[in-house]
Amino acid sequence: MNEIELLREWDADAPPLTDTARTRARFRLQQAMQAPAAPAVVAVHRRPLLRVAVACAAAAAVTATVVVTQNTGENAPRTQSVSATTVLRGAAAETLRTEKPLAPRDDQFVYTKEVIERTPVSGGPAKTYVDESWSSVDGSKKSYVSELGRTQWVPAARPGEGSWPPSRWSELKKLPLDPGRLTITLRDMGGKPEFSRPTRADEWPMVQYFISGLLRDPVLPKGLRSAAFEALAAVPGVKVLPGTTDVDGHAAVAVRYTGPAGTPWASGGRVLLFDAESYQYLGLRERVTAGGKSYEQWQHVTAQGVVDRVKQRP
């Protein structure tokens, strides 16, 4: 089915599109807009609370390896070959070991503090932004968000309004913690999951799109982030990038999803960075355009938690 067929089936007297149909249409529209001769620099604008529009990069392939130099405290560094699967499964284990369980109430807010550093590609000084946001747990209250230093109030969700992957805590808790079942649940976008049906090759770009969108949520139920990293380890299309450092210049391991021709990720997407020793997730790096200029952008979450009111900090 293509977009023209979707339009032909549209009926003005029919009820509004479901979240699943809306998500599928948005995804296909994005593919159609970006597929022809996708340039190396793609403008990506973050929209507060619109998690389904994240064109994120992250996935794994067992064949991609890279030699990472590590400082062992001895005179000579040692090296080791790592695969993307090793990195993502290591990140899953590290997340499970270090995460603190949270059980927010529906009337509370999720607090996040994110640091974003932008450096002009053409040269010039970097600029750093510190964004603090308070998002309603169940969407019933106004949220207060910051993006590149600009703050705004986001209205409460309207009845029947939702997103995919889900963002409400009550819906996140229902997602399976088994990586395989999580993949299929996200793939089937809120419908009854077909656990016995293998994922087709043409579905994997959307699968990584949704798993990556889930991982961008700074606060998840215990075990869900670990399961998402494990799920990424089964998605074909990742490349491990050599010679990578984090924003402070420390050695890091980078993975980037590269999708099939004709998808928005054909030339590669965002780069996810992990500590070279512990595989702790460090943040993401990407090239963005704004105001006709290109920037190398690095962003990472420095604090998160659950609070009772807007502008309260954990």
Over residues 79-100, the pLDDT tens digits come to 357 889 999 999 999 999 999 8
Task: Give the Cα separation of 118 and 7 in Å (integer).
Answer: 40
67, pLDDT greater than 60: no
User: What's the mean pLDDT in 180-203?
Assistant: 94
165, pLDDT greater than 80: yes
- Write a three-state SS string for the chain: CCHHHHHHHCCCCCCCCCHHHHHHHHHHHHHHHHCCCCCCCCCCCCCCCCHHHCCCCCCCCCCCEEEEEECCCCCCCEEEEEEHHHHHHHHHHHHHHHCCCCCCCCCCEEEEEEEEEEEECCCCCCEEEEEEEEEECCCCCCEEEEECCEEEEECCCCCCCCCCCCCCHHHHCCCCCCHHHHHHHHHCCCCCCCCCCCCCHHHHHHHHHHHHHHHCCCCCCCCHHHHHHHHHCCCCCEEEEEEEECCCCCEEEEEEECCCCCCCCCCCCCEEEEECCCCCEEEEEEEEEECCEEEEEEEEEEEEEEECCCCCCC
What lies within 8 Å, CB to CB, of 106 at 6+ separation is: 137, 138, 140, 169, 170
pLDDT given at position 22: 45
Q: How far from the centroid of its chain's Cα atoms is residue 314's Cα?
A: 24
In this predicted model, which residue has the larger pLDDT, 107 or 48? 107
pLDDT given at position 247: 67
CA distances in angstroms from 307 to 137, 146, 156, listed in the order given = 10, 17, 17
Question: Residue 167 pairs with which residues in a beta bridge?
Answer: none
228, pLDDT greater than 70: yes
Confidence band of 218 (pLDDT split at 50, 70, 90): confident
pLDDT given at position 18: 40
35, pLDDT greater than 60: no
Q: pLDDT tens, 234-271? A: 989 978 887 677 667 778 899 988 888 888 888 887 88
148, pLDDT greater than 50: yes
**Among residues of the chain, what percentage have pLDDT more than 90?**
48
183 in Cβ contact with 175 (< 8 Å): no
User: What's the mean pLDDT in 223-242?
Assistant: 90
Can you give the residue ranges of every domain in the chain?
3-100+159-292
Of the candidates 95, 127, 116, which has an alpha carbon nearest to the alpha carbon of residue 300? Answer: 116
**Among residues of the chain, what percentage have pLDDT more than 70?**
73
**Helix 84-98 / helix 224-232 crossing angle, nearest 10 deg:** 180
pLDDT given at position 102: 85
In this predicted model, which residue has the larger pLDDT, 159 or 120? 120
53, pLDDT greater than 80: no
284, pLDDT greater than 60: yes
CB atoms within 10 A of CB 177: 14
193 in Cβ contact with 186 (< 8 Å): no
What lies within 8 Å, CB to CB, of 152 at 6+ separation is: 48, 144, 145
Q: What is the mean pLDDT of the chain?
A: 77
